[in-house]
Every structure is written in structure tokens, then in C-alpha cells.
Chain A
Amino acid sequence: MEKTSVKTSPRVQKKLIQARQSINWIKAELESLPELYEGKKQAKLARFKNKLNKQLSSAAFKACDKGEYYDGVIDSKLMRYDVKKYMAHRALNHGTAKRIFGTVKLGQSYDEILSEQYAKYQQLNAARAEYKGKLTEKKAAFVEKHGAADATEYNALIAKKQAEYDEYEAKLTAAYGAAMSEKAEKLSQKLKGYESLTEQLSAKTAGGLKLEEDVLLSVRDLKMYFGGLKAVDGLSFDVKKGEIFGLIGPNGAGKTTVFNCITRFYDATGGDMYFENKYGEVVDMRSFKVHDVILQGISRTFQNVELIKEISVVDNLLVACTREYKTGIIGQALGLPSLKKEEKLLRAKAMKILKFMGIESYAAWYAMGLPYGILKKVEIARALMCDAKLIIMDEPAAGLNDSETADLTRTIRRIRDEFGVTILLVEHDMSLVMNVCDTVCAISFGRMLAIGTTDEIKKNKAVQEAYLGVDEDEEAQPQEEAEGNE
């Protein structure tokens, strides 16, 4: 690979990021336009419908069958009794020793109480029947007073109103259609402006770096020394686009250190890391700060779930989008409408992702107190929020039981297929690694042992030795033994 370092000013880079974020926002807004205008139209139509219905009410009353109408009235008036009856029935069914009404008297036996309860229930039934009788008596008078059903006026009116309604609907459809296309036009013009700006800026920032075809992340001769300890010592590997890449090794092999170097938690002692970011440019990862890595399209999950306990699950997902808001801090402090608009769009996206993960019913729950398996899923969902190209998972199966691990295996595959992301994972659970990974890289003491498909790794002698120690029994099954080892 050619190594050419082009220094671009941070200001240009910042501008570029802002322009790209603007493009994202405009695209999201364009997508949400039809829904928005449809909602507006429906709301207006509903209001209009209510208005028409109110105008129709007297005619509708004349048109309906009076006896039927009064039956409805009786039903609603008897509701009070029905609730009481339900409660009494519930108490009887459970046979609670306490009375429904009043307190327990001393020396009362259980049977007595029950029979008393039953008497109360009967009383209630009788009272209800009596009240119903009274109302039914009134029904005849009511019907007589208001006369028989007369639908002529209603029929004449309804056709007129329906026509009015249809006309209004057509008018609204036309008006909102025009408004929408106008808005869409405006937005797409804005989008074009930003796109040309992005092109100009990216021409400036392009570093002339190139990766081999299909390679997403290339780690070259990575070194990380802590004082005298060589945690990672000259490690090189390539992660291809769209593959699930597993990094394995015994405890203390330096797997997590490699992760932390890629995500810039550690500043590597030596070596290079090149990554094709989500805009298709090849960047040198070592030129970014740790909190800027996410903007390039790398997100990660943690070994121990690192969620915010005191806010809801969907809010936790929004944390990953902190850098995407265009509203500044002052705008946020004033609660500007632009912030609300952005929040709405991002919330919709978060709900979509939660639905994909199958945990949308937990969206409004606080992260505190949710089961560990759910929290793990929430963390993966959070990593998906920022349109990442590479997701780094640090021991995703840690602390999960067998069925949850099997579920996770499917989930990881689905994420790769549907979001088109590449996944790089460190894992101790060999069944997960062997099931899900396309390529596995085994390391030991910071050095590469072997890289290849799962089958190749299983048969590799160096890997077997690293996990089991040098052993005379060469027929040992590395997979099973390795599992036992963990």
C-alpha cells in the first residue's frame, strides 16, 4: 500500500462533516414528507368530519329507531351496577374472607361471611333488575314522545354532506400535494447545494490513500507497548467488506487492546490502521480523536453493558446520535422547534431499529432493571443507530445463556445482511465464533498465530497449542477443548 500523508486543516474536515450531516438530515426530511402531509390532511379531515356530524346530529336522531336508541341509553346507565356486580362476583369467586361491604365482625365464620357476600350479590342483582325495569317502563313513553323513525330528512342531508366532504377532501389533497412538492423541490435544491459543497471539500481532504479491493479495515504492523509489556506486537490483518471477522485468543492475548487501538482509546505505539469510512474515503485512523471515530462509521459495544440506567431505552439509543444534531447548545437550552423536529426523526429511526431487534416493547422502559439479555440487545441497537459501516463487538455473548447465544448468532447474521455492515468481534464463546464468523484470526501474546476460515483455524496446530499447551495427544478436538478451557 502507498503511504502518502496529506494534512488537511481541521476546519475543512469540520465543514465537511457538517455538510455531510446536513445532507443526511435533508434526506431524512425528504423521506418523512409524505407521512407528515398525510397526517396533517387526516387531522383536518377528522375535524371537518366532526363538524359535519354535529350538523347532522338532529336529523340522525330522527332517523334512528327510537327503541334501539333508548336501549343504548339503558346500557350506559346500567354500567354503574355492572361494575359493582363484577367486583362482587370477583370477591365471591376468590372466596375472600373479607366482606365486600362493611367490616368483618368478630366471631363471624367463613361460611357466614361467604353467604353474606352471596346475599349482597343477589341484592345487587335485584337492584339492577329493578332499575332496568324502571328504565324499560320509560322506554315506551320515550318512543311515543319522539315518534317513529323518519329517515327522509336524514337521507336528503347525508348525500349533501357527503358531497361536501368529498369536495373538501379533494381540495385538501390537491393543496397538500402542491405544498409537498414545493417543499420537496426546495429541499432537493438545498441537497444539491450541499452535495456540490461536499464534493469540493472532499477533493481537498482526499489523502490519496487506497486499500485493496473489498478491504474495509487494514491493520498493518500494529504495536502497543505498555512500558515493557508488549501487549500487541506487530499484528497485521485485513477485514473484508461485509464479513464477520472474529478475533480469538487466550486470556491476555491482547484482543481487547487491538480493539481499543482501532477505536483510538489507546494511542498505538506503532503501526498503521486504514479504514474506508462511510463516505467511501480511505482514512488513517491514527489521525482521529477517540470521540471522532464514530463520525467515520465505526461504532462499538462493550464487554460489560455500558448503558445509562436512569433514562429510557429509546433515549439510550439517541445518545449515539449526539453528534448528529444540528441544533446547537443554545438552541437546545431554548427548546427550539428545530430540535423537536430532529428528535422526532431520530426517534422514528430508533423505533425502527428496536423493532428490528425485536425489543420495541421495551422502548419506554428505563434501562434500570431490564434483564441482561435485553440490555445486550439494546447496546447492539445503539451501535446500529449511527449508520456505522463497521461494528466492533467486545464479547457480545459474555453473560448470556445458551438460547440467548443462539439468538445472538442469528441476530448478528441478520444485522450483517440487512444493514450491510461489517462486524468485527472478540469472543471467548467458541460455539458462537465458529458458527457466525467468516474469517477468524487467532492471536497469542500480541502476535498472530493464524488467520483463515473457521475450519482452517480448528485444524491449525499453533492455535491448538496456544489454547491447550503443547500436548502429546495430537488428536485433541480443539473446539470442544477450547470451550472447556474458557
Chain B
Amino acid sequence: MDKLLTNKYGVKGAVQRADAKLTLALRKTVSNPLLHYLIFGVIMCVIGYIAKQNTGVIPYSWESGLARTFAYSIASVGFCLLMGYSGLASLGTGGFIGIGTYAMYYIMGVLDLPFALAVVVAIAIAALVGIIVGFISLRIEGIYLVILTLGLSEILRQIYVAVEDNISISRFRVFIETITTRSVTIYYVMVALIIVMIVTTNLINSPTGRAMLAMKNSTSAAQAMGISLIKYRLLAFVLCTVYAALSGVMYMVTTRSVMASDANGTYALITSLNILAAVIIGGYKSVWGAVFGTFIMYGLQTTLLQQVNFLADNPIIITFFSGILVIVVVMFFPGGVAQLLVELKGLIKKLIKKIREGRYGKDLG
């Protein structure tokens, strides 16, 4: 009898244990970051859908604004992996985004081939460029990668200008849907962004992420632990360029046209700098931080702040604001918004503890 029934009242304990188990399973599911990404994606898609209905609940322009922001976010996430985890920096994001847009333009606009091929070609070219540039520059430590990518980005932009300055595709098919100005393109962007976020999170929590961190902390310790520096640096850099190219593809899906010669345009240095700033503001070690930082750099302007007439007339103020934000973050919160949130959480916990102690005295137990 004692084997079967362990508790006094039979059923009560068993039910409680089952409840506890269920709660644990539920908690595990709720705290799964992949689920958070999915929920985030669905919410953004719903916002985009409502905006495109043009009923006035959410302004019409929000859909394209958000879609563009999250297309840039893909590049930011890659940059976060590069800077936060392997300790490298690149200023070639703008140029690499161009790889995606031009692959899209030539495969779909000129050759009229399917969308999936455009994505594959963009990724393949970006990976190739990443490997070549990486092999040349990653053997040297420090600032050389930044200089090299900066130059490369400008070279790429000049190539784009020479090849075809103003690219645009008016109607094209993405899988089953024909994209026109009325289509809700944020769906595609969100799918790409969520895939990128999930892959990046998996990598960060895997041996690869740890190897990158080891390499960033101390190259000699990493080497002694069997970590090949060139392999992981190259991996981070290639992922960064691939993400940037994917971001370019998604950018093209939502905007349908880009001008290469625009000095403040998508391929220019300003994009690379903005994405750098976004990752710094958001927190260079957090995937959420990268996405949020990009929203501050790009999304705020196209959505919320656009509603304020004064700011809409003087967009330069927003640029000032983001510059000041970068300075403040670097000075006071080197971990960015992500760190701020963690610190806030700790502060609230401390406050609650203090209030309890004030009321009831220190814990005796």
C-alpha cells in the first residue's frame, strides 16, 4: 500500500504534483524566446494589415515604415552578432545591402525568375564577398576591417551607380502573391526577420556563440581551447554580410525602388552608421536590442514622430536626438537599452525588498 499512496489524503498530493508539473511546462513554454519572436511577428503583421486597410485606426504609412524598419533590423541583428559576440566591426553594411537589392532587381525585374532564386543568389553572392573580404582582412586585428569594409562599401556603391543608378520593379510575384503598391509586404519582412532572429539566438546559445565570446574575451585562451580564430571570425563576418544582403532583398520587396547615387540613400555610409548606432543604442549583445535600436533609428521617424507636425517639418531634430542618444548610451549604459531593462528589473526587485523590510523588518529566516 505504501508504494502506491504516498500522501495522507490520497488524491490531493497527486493532483498538486500534476499541477506543479503543468505549471513548469507552461513556464518553460512561456519563457521560450522563440515564442516571443513569433508573437512579436504576429503583432507587427496585424498592425501592418490594419494600416493597409486604410480605415484610419492606424495611419496608412505605418505599414511601409515598419516594413522598412524591420528590413533594416535584419542587417542589425547580423551586426549585433559581429560586434557583440566576435568583437569585430564593419562599416560596409550599406554596400552589402546593395547586393541584395541588385540580386533582386536582376533576377526578378530583368530576368523574370522566381523570388526564391533571388534570395538564394543574394545570399550566395554575399557569402562569397564575405569570405573573400574576410580572408584578406580578418588576419589582421583591430581597425583594419572597419577601414576595408568602409572602402569596399563605397566601391560597391560606385559600381551600382555605374551599372544601373535607379532600379525599380513595379509588379512582381513573391511565391504566390503578386506584389503591387496595395500589398501588405510586412508579412515577408517579418518572416525573414523572425527566421534570422531564431537562427541568431540558436547560434548565440550554441557552442559557436560561446566560441565567439571566448575569442572576443581573449584570443590566446580561445586558441588554447581549440578555437580557430579565422574560422569563427569569418563565420561572424559572412553571417553579417548574408544578413545584410537578405535585408536588401526585403528592402526591395517593400520599397520596390532604390537610387544608388543618393548620397544619403540606402547604400551610403549613413546606413552603415545608422545601423551601428542602432546596435549601440539597443545593446550590442542582444537580438531584441538590435531590433529595438533599429526601430529608434528608423521606425520612430516614419511612424510615431511623423504624426507630430513640428517634427515632420523639421526632421533634422530627430537626427540630433538620435546622436545625443548614442552619446548618452555610450556614456551611461554601455550595454544599451537591453542593459537598461535588466538594471531596471533589478532595481524594482530591490525596491520591493526595501519596502517589505521597511514594513516588516529584516527577514529572520
Closest Cβ of chain A to B170, distance in Å, is: 36
> For residue A332, which residues in chain B have a CB less than 8 angstroms away from its CB?
202-203, 206-208
Interface contact A53-B11, CB-CB below 8 Å: yes
A-B contacts, 26 of them at CB < 8 A, read A56-B10, A60-B9, A72-B8, A72-B9, A87-B360, A90-B362, A90-B364, A93-B361, A93-B364, A94-B361, A162-B4, A263-B224, A291-B226, A302-B218, A308-B213, A310-B213, A310-B285, A318-B210, A319-B222, A322-B211, A322-B227, A329-B208, A329-B235, A332-B207, A333-B206, A335-B206
Q: Which of B13-21, B48-56, B116-124 contacts A (4 or more CB under 8 A)?
A: B13-21
Interface contact B11-A295, CB-CB below 8 Å: no
> For residue B222, which residues in chain A have a CB less than 8 angstroms away from its CB?
319
Q: Which residues of chain A in 264-315 are interfacial with respect to chain B, using CB atoms and an 8 Å cutoff?
A: 265, 289-295, 299-300, 302, 306-311, 315
> For residue A302, which residues in chain B have a CB less than 8 angstroms away from its CB?
218, 220-221, 224
Closest Cβ of chain A to B232, distance in Å, is: 9
Bound-state CA distance A238–B134 (Å) is 42
| Further 9 A-B residue pairs, CB within 8 A, beyond A294-B225, A332-B203, A333-B202 | A50-B17, A52-B4, A53-B5, A87-B359, A87-B360, A319-B214, A320-B225, A321-B207, A329-B235
Closest Cβ of chain A to B267, distance in Å, is: 28
B61 beta carbon closer than 8 Å to chain A: no
Closest Cβ of chain B to A472, distance in Å, is: 44
Interface of A is mostly: helix
> For residue A165, which residues in chain B have a CB less than 8 angstroms away from its CB?
3-4
Interface contact B208-A100, CB-CB below 8 Å: no
Bound-state CA distance A341–B358 (Å) is 48
In-complex Cβ contact of A306 among B202, B208, B221 (8 A): B221
> For residue A329, which residues in chain B have a CB less than 8 angstroms away from its CB?
203, 208, 235
Interface membership of chain B positions 225-249, coded 1 if the CB is closer than 8 angstroms to chain A and 0 otherwise: 1111100000100000000000000
B176 beta carbon closer than 8 Å to chain A: no
Bound-state CA distance A349–B127 (Å) is 37
Bound-state CA distance A161–B5 (Å) is 10
A60 and B361 in contact (CB under 8 A), knowing A291-B226, A299-B224, A333-B202?
no
Q: Which residues of chain A in 48-69 are interfacial with respect to chain B, using CB atoms and an 8 Å cutoff?
A: 49-50, 52-54, 56-57, 59-61, 64, 69
Interface contact B223-A53, CB-CB below 8 Å: no
Interface contact B199-A290, CB-CB below 8 Å: no
Interface contact A322-B220, CB-CB below 8 Å: no
Bound-state CA distance A263–B221 (Å) is 11
Q: Which residues of chain A in 87-107 are interfacial with respect to chain B, using CB atoms and an 8 Å cutoff?
A: 87-88, 90-91, 93-94, 96, 98, 100
B1 beta carbon closer than 8 Å to chain A: yes
On chain A, the number of residues with a Cβ less than 8 Å from chain B's Cβ atoms is 60
Interface membership of chain A positions 10-45, coded 1 if the CB is closer than 8 angstroms to chain B and 0 otherwise: 000000000000000000000000000000000000
Closest Cβ of chain A to B66, distance in Å, is: 26
The 10 closest A-B pairs by CB, nearest first: A60-B10, A57-B11, A94-B361, A306-B221, A332-B206, A294-B226, A53-B14, A323-B226, A335-B202, A306-B218
> For residue A315, which residues in chain B have a CB less than 8 angstroms away from its CB?
210
Interface contact B4-A158, CB-CB below 8 Å: yes
A339 beta carbon closer than 8 Å to chain B: yes
In-complex Cβ contact of A100 among B8, B11, B211, B359 (8 A): B359
Bound-state CA distance A300–B3 (Å) is 51
Interface contact A292-B226, CB-CB below 8 Å: yes
Interface contact A294-B224, CB-CB below 8 Å: yes
Size range of the chain B interface in the assembly? 35 or more
A141 beta carbon closer than 8 Å to chain B: no
- Chain B residue nearest to A63 in the complex (CB): B10
A203 beta carbon closer than 8 Å to chain B: no
B264 beta carbon closer than 8 Å to chain A: no
Interface contact A61-B202, CB-CB below 8 Å: no
B217 beta carbon closer than 8 Å to chain A: yes
Bound-state CA distance A100–B356 (Å) is 10
Interface contact B224-A300, CB-CB below 8 Å: yes
Q: Which residues of chain A in 161-209 are interfacial with respect to chain B, using CB atoms and an 8 Å cutoff?
A: 161-162, 165
Bound-state CA distance A69–B3 (Å) is 21
Interface contact A49-B14, CB-CB below 8 Å: yes
A322 and B11 in contact (CB under 8 A), knowing A87-B360, A162-B3?
no
- Chain A residue nearest to B216 in the complex (CB): A308
A445 beta carbon closer than 8 Å to chain B: no
Closest Cβ of chain B to A63, distance in Å, is: 8
A334 and B202 in contact (CB under 8 A), knowing A54-B15, A61-B9?
yes
> For residue A319, which residues in chain B have a CB less than 8 angstroms away from its CB?
207, 210-211, 214, 222, 225, 227
Interface contact A56-B213, CB-CB below 8 Å: no
A131 beta carbon closer than 8 Å to chain B: no
Scoring B206, B207, B227, B228 by chain A CB atoms within 10 A of each residue's CB, the highest score goes to B207
> For residue B202, which residues in chain A have a CB less than 8 angstroms away from its CB?
332-335
- Chain A residue nearest to B210 in the complex (CB): A319
A162 and B361 in contact (CB under 8 A), knowing A50-B17, A292-B226, A306-B220?
no
A467 beta carbon closer than 8 Å to chain B: no
Interface contact B360-A322, CB-CB below 8 Å: no
Interface contact B210-A311, CB-CB below 8 Å: yes
A158 and B1 in contact (CB under 8 A), knowing A54-B15, A56-B11, A94-B361?
yes
Interface contact B9-A306, CB-CB below 8 Å: no
Bound-state CA distance A333–B209 (Å) is 10
A118 beta carbon closer than 8 Å to chain B: no
Scoring A289, A319, A333 by chain B CB atoms within 10 A of each residue's CB, the highest score goes to A319
A81 beta carbon closer than 8 Å to chain B: no
Interface contact A293-B213, CB-CB below 8 Å: no
Bound-state CA distance A295–B210 (Å) is 18
> For residue A306, which residues in chain B have a CB less than 8 angstroms away from its CB?
217-218, 220-221
> For residue A333, which residues in chain B have a CB less than 8 angstroms away from its CB?
199, 202-203, 206, 208
> For residue A96, which residues in chain B have a CB less than 8 angstroms away from its CB?
358-361
Bound-state CA distance A321–B211 (Å) is 10
> For residue A334, which residues in chain B have a CB less than 8 angstroms away from its CB?
199, 202
> For residue B226, which residues in chain A have a CB less than 8 angstroms away from its CB?
291-295, 320, 322-323, 386
> For residue A90, which residues in chain B have a CB less than 8 angstroms away from its CB?
360-364
Interface contact B218-A325, CB-CB below 8 Å: no
Bound-state CA distance A377–B3 (Å) is 44
Interface contact B10-A53, CB-CB below 8 Å: yes
> For residue B10, which residues in chain A have a CB less than 8 angstroms away from its CB?
53, 56-57, 59-61, 64
Q: Which residues of chain B in 88-112 are interfacial with respect to chain A, using CB atoms and an 8 Å cutoff?
A: none
Interface contact B224-A293, CB-CB below 8 Å: yes
Closest Cβ of chain A to B347, distance in Å, is: 18
- Chain B residue nearest to A159 in the complex (CB): B1
Interface membership of chain B positions 167-190, coded 1 if the CB is closer than 8 angstroms to chain A and 0 otherwise: 000000000000000000000000
A309 and B217 in contact (CB under 8 A), knowing A60-B9, A293-B224?
yes
Bound-state CA distance A318–B210 (Å) is 8
- Chain B residue nearest to A92 in the complex (CB): B361
Interface contact B208-A308, CB-CB below 8 Å: no
Closest Cβ of chain A to B281, distance in Å, is: 19
Interface contact B11-A54, CB-CB below 8 Å: yes
> For residue A386, which residues in chain B have a CB less than 8 angstroms away from its CB?
226
Interface contact B220-A265, CB-CB below 8 Å: yes
Closest Cβ of chain B to A204, distance in Å, is: 23
